[in-house]
Amino acid sequence: MSIRLVPVPISLVYSEASLDKEEYLREYAQLSESDDDPISQWLKLAKGRGETSDTDPVLLNLVVELHRKIDALEMFLKNEIPKRISLNHEIKIESIGFDHFKLEADVLEVGVEYYGRVEMPVHPKRDVAVFFKALDSSLVEITKIHDRDEKEWGVYLTARERVLIREAKEK
């Protein structure tokens, strides 16, 4: 089995899934497509009722993202932090594939299932919740990821490949 991986500058916080599977599943659901911010809920309802059909989608997304930035700034000024489960370990991800990723160090136990969050450098920036199983001490297979996150993972992977190809051509 050949797994194609692309180098990336992202990191992961994780714990063994068996430590508190119910809590991890709850957070996984919270980080799902149902985004827990009010502006996302409003936008989904407005789109469902057809209220956004006459609106430029790019402009609408930019305004929504501006609203999120203002909310984030307000949270910062009030010294509020998003509620996330505390996970035991933090490590850099060396490279990713469509269904796999490799950590920079050999820290995992083969066959063990883990839960983690990856801060994806996509727009809008957010945490991606994943369940994964260790194939060896640093290579993992993603076993559970939300559909939208899986698509953005693939888009990010493709974008990183393009950057590397461009850099190789310039040399």
**Domain-embedded: residue 39:** yes
> Tokens 């609106």 — which residue?
55
Domain residues for 28? 6-170
User: In 3D, which of 96, 100, 97, 99 has the Cα closest to residue 140?
Assistant: 100
Q: What percent of the chain has pLDDT over 70?
A: 94
Please state the rounded mean pLDDT for residues 135-156.
92
Helical H runs in 1-37? Answer: 21-30
pLDDT of res. 135: 95
pLDDT at residue number 1: 62
DSSP H helix total and E strand total for the chain: 4, 6
1 within domain boundaries: no
- Rounded CA gap, 48 and 67, in Å? 20
How confident is the model at residue 2, as a pLDDT? 79
Is 78 part of any domain? yes
123 found inside a domain: yes
pTM score of the predicted model: 0.75
**pLDDT above 80 (res 36):** no
Question: Which residues fall within 8 angstroms of residue 143, CB to CB, at 6 or more apart?
Answer: 113, 131, 132, 133
**pLDDT surpasses 70 at 37:** no
Does residue 124 surpass a pLDDT of 70?
A: no
109 within 8 A of 66, measured Cβ to Cβ: no
**Is 90 part of any domain?**
yes
CB–CB of 105/134 below 8 Å? no
Domain count for the chain, please give it.
Answer: 1
Contact 24, 132 (CB under 8 A): no
Q: What is the pLDDT of residue 123?
A: 64
**DSSP letter, residue 112:** -
Residue 65: pLDDT above 90? no
Q: Is the pLDDT of residue 58 over 90?
A: no
